[in-house]
Amino acid sequence: MTKTAWVFPGQGSQALGMGIDLLELPQAKAKFEQAAEILGWSVIDICQNQEEKLSRTLYTQPCLYVVESLLVDALRQKEQPDLVAGHSLGEYIALYVAGVFEWSAGLRLVKRRAELMDAAAGGMMAAFIGFDRQQLDQAIAQTNDVVLANDNSAAQVVISGTPEAVKSVISQVKAKRAIPLNVSGAFHSPLMSPAATEFEEVLSSVAFLPANIPVASNVDPTPSIDSEILKQRLIQQMTGSVRWREISLALPENNISRVVEIGPGNVLTGLIKRTCPDLSLINIRNMDDFKKFVSV
């Protein structure tokens, strides 16, 4: 029997116009209205008309949560996954799918997370593509105030830290491409500790239920259904590395043979293909993809 994992992209996958076609889903209008009450602004308006705002953390993360969860709600009427995982912000959709918290509680968490991360300042992130892993690891080890933030694949990672430290590592490592990212802070690094401490207080007030589907977390790819373990991993996520390469490697180890990426873009399936080329990969980015999938 084919075992399936659903995976959910995070910040960086957003695109102007995403989610607008979901309005034809029966439950979508009510969900968009509920989101507007929680957020104080319209996801539809941001996604349809305001590209600059859509690229800002404050708006990006809630928009992705709403759009991806609407696709999930429609897809669950056809099938259920055997494992879920999400990249950074995407982990919140994974936890929602697994029944760890209900939809509005998840959106309120994402809203506060986005506010705290948007307010972070003074840090820098940069992506490396096509590099010497040993050389990069050595440069990070010898440079203060910089860490490996996203271990996405053998050929693509992101570092995070102070601007001086990130620029120093860039100057030390030969890479096909080294790209500074347009973010406000040093996400997934110890520099996010003040924000993480404040967010931990928010998380502690939300009841987590045992997951009904195993969740592979960013800071620990070992699938778990334990509510306390999943909450602790989420607390660690803001300052910890996203271990996506290890999540990818764990998929076949957990007998997963098919992976469905739900949300805009195809970043995660691209990363998984480089790490585990034998897996069957599917993208559900919009209503057209959804209709094709359910008609098979």
Q: For 239-260, how does the pLDDT look when each residue is reduced to its tens digit (9 = 90+)?
A: 999 999 999 999 999 999 999 9
In the predicted structure, residue 83 carries a pLDDT above the cut 90? yes
Residue ranges per structural domain of the chain = 4-120+189-295, 124-180
Fold of 124-180: Alpha-Beta Plaits (3.30.70)
Fold of 4-120+189-295: Malonyl-Coenzyme A Acyl Carrier Protein; domain 2 (3.40.366)
Give me the catalytic one of 13, 69, 168, 188.
188
Q: How confident is the model at residue 12 (pLDDT cuts 50, 70, 90)?
A: confident
Q: How confident is the model at residue 269 (pLDDT cuts 50, 70, 90)?
A: very high
Give me the catalytic one of 88, 160, 241, 248.
88
Query: Once rounded to an integer, what is the mean pLDDT over residues 55-72?
Result: 96
For the chain, the residue count is 296
Does residue 87 have an active-site annotation? no
**pTM for the whole structure:** 0.95
pLDDT over 90 percentage in the chain: 91
Q: What is the pLDDT of residue 120?
A: 85
Does residue 153 have an active-site annotation? no
Q: How confident is the model at residue 122 (pLDDT cuts 50, 70, 90)?
A: confident
Q: What is the pLDDT of residue 251?
A: 97
Own/partner contacts of 201-209, CB < 8 Å, gap of 24 or more, are 202/109, 202/112, 203/109, 203/231, 203/234, 203/235, 206/101, 206/105, 206/108, 206/109, 207/101, 208/95, 208/100, 208/101, 209/99, 209/100, 209/101
